[in-house]
A and B are shown apart, each in its own frame.
Chain A
Amino acid sequence: MKVCALKVFIRLFLFSVFIANTAVYAEDEKPAADQTEASQGAQQDIQSLKNEVIELNRDLFILEEDLLFSANTQISVFLSLDVDELFELDSVQLKLDDKIVSNYLYTEREIKALKRGGVQRLYIGNLTSGEHELTAFFIGKGPNDRDFKRGTTKKIEKSGYAKYIELKITGDSSKEQPDFEVKVWE
């Protein structure tokens, strides 16, 4: 009820109960023009501040990446989800060369975002050139609401360029099982 009430307040740009309110809210006053202008000025200041911080944030992310994860050593691991009923993801553990580099527990909001087509950057780090082993464990609820844990491993060859890897969770309806795949982006 509250949500609907709020929506109504929002959408009615004219006075909402134009006559009914006269009895009850007799003392409501419209803001003076100078107050409105001052308010708009303050809003513009906030907008400008927000934009300044966004730009600074972008520059700092670029600076951090340039400094910490140069292209010739960078490895980024992403996670995407394209399975609805066969698997409910709870957490992911990521290992590189048998060393745990990420443990991630998902919130409901994050799972919803993944299900709608969002991609999560699970890990960013550095790797030396050569062959490495990537292992990911997916923990959650499988078909029939049973606890489900599955791992997948992939040998990856790190060259002198940044490496992007996507962990894909998909559903195989023919097997009634979720599928876990590691895709290396070129």
Chain B
Amino acid sequence: MWYRQPIKFLLIVCISLVCVYGGVAGAESKTTHKVQDLAYGVSLYNFFQQKYFSAITELLVAEHYQRITSDDSNPSLLLGGLYLSYDLHKQSSEVFQRLLQEKELEIPVSIIDQAHFLLGKNHYYDGQYPQAEEQFINIKDGLQLESDEEKLFLMNSIFLLNEDFEQALKTFDYFSAESVWKDYARFNTASRLIQRQEEGNVEQGFDILDDLASSDSVHPEKLILRDKANLALAYVSLRDGYSDVSIEHFNKIRLKGIETNKALLGVGWAHYREGKYQEAVIPWMHLASSQTESDLAVQEAFISIPYAFEKMGLGDQALHHYGLAVDSYKFQLNETEQLVGFIKSPQFIDQLNPGSLGKEITSAVNVIKNLDPLLTQYLLPFLSSNEFQYEAKSYLEILHLKYMLNHWENNIPALQMILKEKRKIYKNKLTKTMDDESLNKVKVLTQKRDQLRKQIEKIESSEDALKLASAAEVEKIQLLKNNEKRIKQLKNSSEEGAAEAREKYRLLKGRLQWEVETDYPVRIWTIKRELQQLNKVVTDMNKSMESLETAWKSAPFEFANFNSRIENKESQINALKKKIDRAIIEQESKLRVMALEQLRLHRNQIKLYHDRALYAKARLYDSLMERQR
């Protein structure tokens, strides 16, 4: 479970490096983002806020509507990474495998390598080490430095699990010089070598620890590892009787670090072993006066102080300190007794999720900061442990799922109401539309268009140009026709001007006919073009009407479909809510059991110290009394 927490952080680093568009042009230039796909961008927006649930949903919805249009494989990589971040390893593996199988030849090597890396991590976390190793080996050269180092660390871990120390040691050569991952790998390798207790291995392990213990780096994580290496070496030296060496290592541990109390306790024991009881008491007194009474190292110091006083022959002081130790243990037993009651009470769970219902983002600090200070005082290492953090996070995630289901459950009536309203509107509009004259108007217009087309065809076949005369020309033709009779009557007349009038009539009629007939090709082309335009308008109108008709006809089926979808989802919500309620109860119980078990172990230890202190006090008291007698 140790791996759960850093996944988020690491995925953010390694995926965002690939996913965010744009690049760094130089050391001085700033990163620019160009949005290429809105839906993908929205998913990233959630991802960057560690809202994995929302980010996954966003991508899945976008996939459904085919909104992601870019050709690259970043969305698949993001989706796989999101599933991994949300601890859905199966789904994550499926996405990566699909990505590698379908597109391997088309996508850049950096994406392929990321997919291999993340798929390998998936296998690793699922305990499928050979498969994980296979994926890591497939990685070519396209990983970012941070991912590459993490890959090496995981490879090192796999080799250690296989007890292949030769390969594990070889991995050190591939880390960058200042890599923190390298130091973790070295520490783990050293621990494993020493644990194996085989000749040669132990020395090699100590050499590595020695190297770590003398690191001069100021990197915070390296400093912690340095402290741990020194602590381990110091206790081994103490166990083997080399008190001076152990003191040397203890002294290298920082005074304000997570190993400080253990170091102070140890340095006291190193002096004690050398018979320097006065020197031994100093660090123990320092521990006893610290504000971290509930720390087991401090508790051990409480009982160790009077031991040293006894050795110095200061019986009274020893008796006094045994008394102080007993009081302190009693006090702590009383406090831890209260804590047992507290953990069993609803307040414990309430404090884990104050107002967190619906919050997608959880963090280790948030989980701890709301808890009773007394609980954190006694169980801080446990509460900070990955095991507890993972379970608490799972619990808060389930609460978020419940929140989402409640949200949708509350929305279902609204969806039903909207559907009902749409049906109502449809019915009202249907009646109006059916009565609407516009439906008939479209039909009349279509008929008129058809008539017009026939007329034009007729004119074209007969080439009767006068049929294409304009309104003014028609008027003139009519005027000429009206005067035609009168001109005929003048035919035989010898009246003055008759001949001239006949000539004028002939000229005018001829000119008009000439104008119309010579203009015929232009006129027929123009009118045919206008007919084409009319055709388009009428066709569009008919299409719209058809589409409207189809919509009207299909609307009842669509409403029924919506209704069944809503009903289906409603029943799914109800079924899932029951499952979630059960999961919440189980998870609450699990968290309680875990906390109570830790507290039980802690209490047992205090009880042990308490009994030892009581016994030692009684023994010393008896011996003092004996001496007095």
Q: Which residues 79-130 of A have a CB within 8 angstroms of B?
A: 80, 82, 84, 109-110, 112-114, 116-121
Contact with B along A140-170 (1 / 0, CB 8 A): 0000000000000000000000001010100
Contact between A12 and B394, CB atoms less than 8 A apart: no
Q: How large is the interface on A (under 10, 10 to 19, 20 to 34, 35 or more residues)?
A: 35 or more
Residues of A within 8 A of B531 (CB): none
Least CB distance, B260 to chain A, in whole angstroms = 11
Residues of A within 8 A of B405 (CB): 53, 56
Nearest B residue to A162, CB-CB: B65
In the complex, B235 has a CB within 8 A of chain A: yes
Q: Which residues 44-83 of B have a CB within 8 angstroms of A?
A: 44-49, 53, 56-57, 60-61, 64-65
Contact between B2 and A10, CB atoms less than 8 A apart: yes
Residues of B within 8 A of A110 (CB): 45, 49
Which secondary structure dominates where chain B touches chain A? helix
Least CB distance, A77 to chain B, in whole angstroms = 10
- The docked-state distance in angstroms from the alpha carbon of A118 to that of B525 is 57
Residues of A within 8 A of B605 (CB): 26-27
Nearest A residue to B386, CB-CB: A10
- Taking a contact as CB atoms closer than 8 A, the residue among A42, A57, A166 that contacts B35 in the complex is A166
- The docked-state distance in angstroms from the alpha carbon of A185 to that of B19 is 21
Q: How large is the interface on B (under 10, 10 to 19, 20 to 34, 35 or more residues)?
A: 35 or more
In the complex, B456 has a CB within 8 A of chain A: no
In the complex, B463 has a CB within 8 A of chain A: no
Residues of A within 8 A of B194 (CB): 18
Nearest B residue to A115, CB-CB: B33
In the complex, A33 has a CB within 8 A of chain B: no
Residues of A within 8 A of B590 (CB): 42
Least CB distance, B90 to chain A, in whole angstroms = 7
- The docked-state distance in angstroms from the alpha carbon of A53 to that of B569 is 11
Give the 3 A-B CB pairs with smallest separation, nearest first.
Answer: A119-B41, A118-B45, A113-B48
Known: A49-B579, A110-B49. 15 other contacts (CB 8 A): A8-B221, A10-B2, A12-B2, A47-B87, A47-B88, A54-B88, A56-B576, A58-B61, A62-B61, A63-B565, A67-B419, A109-B49, A116-B44, A116-B48, A117-B35
What are 18 A-B interface contacts by the 8 Å CB criterion?
A: A12-B187, A14-B188, A16-B228, A17-B231, A18-B232, A20-B231, A20-B235, A24-B300, A54-B53, A62-B65, A63-B415, A63-B562, A65-B61, A67-B418, A82-B32, A113-B44, A117-B20, A119-B38
B residues contacting A by CB (< 8 A) are 2-6, 16, 19-22, 30, 32-35, 38, 41-42, 44-49, 53, 56-57, 60-61, 64-65, 86-91, 157, 160, 184, 187-188, 191-192, 194-195, 220-221, 224-225, 228, 231-232, 234-236, 239, 256-259, 262, 265-266, 296-297, 300, 361, 364-365, 384-386, 394, 397-398, 401, 404-405, 408, 411, 415, 418-419, 422, 562, 565-566, 569, 572-573, 576, 579-580, 583, 586-587, 590, 601, 604-605
